[in-house]
Structure 1
Amino acid sequence: MKRMDQINVIPFIDIMLVLLAIVLTTATFISEGRLEIRLPESKGQNQPEPLPSLEIGIDAKGDLFLDAVPLTLDALGPRLDGLARETPIVLRVDAAARFERFVAVIDQLKARDLERLSILTRRP
């Protein structure tokens, strides 16, 4: 009896080539995901009014601003207490500001479950 020391991979390669041909053939017929859908018109419902956003700023010296009005970190908490959870908040922090000031503001927001936050940056 002849001893087999090798595995014959030629049938495996043949099957893979057939599967590759099938995939490439069907891929050319697949749409690019653009569906032509014409949405119906609705006259009965109004669009919900968007909530006004709140802007918090920290300058290079670490001073805190709420909608361009200067205030302290202790005064920020009571101003945030009456906000709805869905209120969009924009945070502008100077690149030279201390990170601990940023973290303190984030802690104030998290303590009040205000998580709809945008942190503004600029592209280089």
Structure 2
Amino acid sequence: MPKYKKQRKRFDEINVIPFIDIMLVLLVMVLTTATFIKQGVIPIDLPSAKASTKEELKKEITIYVNAKGELFIDKEKVNLEALEKKLSEISKEQTVVLRSDKESKFQDFVSVMDILKRLKHEQLYIVTKE
């Protein structure tokens, strides 16, 4: 009977190439998804027309209420009076986005909503987290 010598292979190092491949695929997926989330739509190439008018795109106004009850309109700190003055200067069809911290007082939220209702702003979005 022939004798076979058992050979043992030592693991001195770990093969990281499959790990790097998986991480690159995940990175591509995250970057692709983030691009679609940021744009909100899939990019398309629109057809052209000769008789068209360029419509002015209205930028949305964002109102922030932080946990301390401080008000910001487009990243500029304001009080209730200044907020009402700035909102009275914009069109009633202008989109207003309200982002209120969950730790802020409900009264701060109600005060902003009261100003918007009094000024008859109806294009209002309240941002929440799923």
TM class by smaller structure: 0.5 to 0.7
Secondary structure of residue in 1 paired with 2:77: strand
Q: Work out the CA distance in 2 between the residues paired with 1:119 and 1:59.
A: 14
Higher-Rg structure is 1
1:36-76 superposed Cα distances (whole Å, 9 cap, x missing partner): xxxx9632012412211111000001110011111111211
Change (3 A) 1:71 1:41: closer
Kindly report the root-mean-square deviation, in angstroms, between the aligned alpha carbons of the 2 structures: 1.5
| One-letter amino acid matched to 1:43 | K
Which residue number in structure 1 is paired with residue 77 of structure 2? Answer: 70
How high is the TM-score relative to the length of structure 1? 0.63
Deviation at 1:82, TM superposition (A): 1.2
Q: Work out the CA distance in 2 between the residues paired with 1:75 and 1:62.
A: 15
Q: Which of 109, 115, 122 in structure 2 is aligned with 1:108?
A: 115
Q: Work out the CA distance in 1 between the residues paired with 2:48 and 2:61.
A: 33
- Same amino acid, percent of matched pairs: 36
Task: Provide the aligned length of Structure 1 versus Structure 2.
Answer: 84
Secondary structure of residue in 2 paired with 1:122: coil
Q: Give unpaired runs (5+ residues) of structure 1.
A: 1-39
How high is the TM-score relative to the length of structure 2? 0.60
Q: Work out the CA distance in 2 between the residues paired with 1:49 and 1:108.
A: 26
1:1-56 superposed Cα distances (whole Å, 9 cap, x missing partner): xxxxxxxxxxxxxxxxxxxxxxxxxxxxxxxxxxxxxxx96320124122111110
Secondary structure of residue in 2 paired with 1:62: coil
Structure-to-structure mapping, 1:9-88, within 5 angstroms: 42-88=49-95
Secondary structure of residue in 1 paired with 2:99: strand
Which residue number in structure 1 is paired with residue 14 of structure 2? Answer: none
Q: Give unpaired runs (5+ residues) of structure 2.
A: 1-46
